[in-house]
Amino acid sequence: MKLPRPKLTYANVVSTLCLVLVVGGSSAYAASEMLPENSVGPDQIRAGAVTQAKLAGAVENRLGTDVTVYVDRERVQPGVFGSVLAKCEGGEVAVGGSAGVGYGTSIGQLEFFTAGGSPWPKNDSENPPTPLGWQAQARNTSRENTGVIEVYAICARR
């Protein structure tokens, strides 16, 4: 069941923060490799050249105008492996995601194969596929309590 989450959760905040760091980090890396150290400062930037509207436009061009977070969850019986996939809708690509334990699951009860989950489909070839969702697999280490795997996909329309 794919429903946009109506309120902020820890996973939403962390995955959005990761997205901002990835997008911002790649720009900083490019600038550091192309420009000599300390070559751009306040003297080189004209007054009014960097505005909030221009920054918002740059992010909009990079991600698209429509960004949605999808969540999917699955109950996992004691001692059983579970797999959850949160998919983007048609015309959207996954730009990030997160996975964790759902309501009623104790910390450490689920043993994730990859912390935070991973893009779907997986990159198993020389030509990586376009990520269309986020997935996570975990084993419920409890002997008596059902656990919940919760997966979030941050999707942007192209």
pTM, to two decimals: 0.57
Mean predicted lDDT score pLDDT of the chain = 77
Domain that holds residue 6: 1-158
Could you tell me which residues come within 8 angstroms of residue 13 by beta carbon, excluding any fewer than 6 positions away? Answer: none
3-class DSSP state of 144: coil
Instruction: Count structural domains, the chain.
Output: 1
How confident is the model over 46-69, as pLDDT tens digits? 666 666 666 555 555 555 558 888
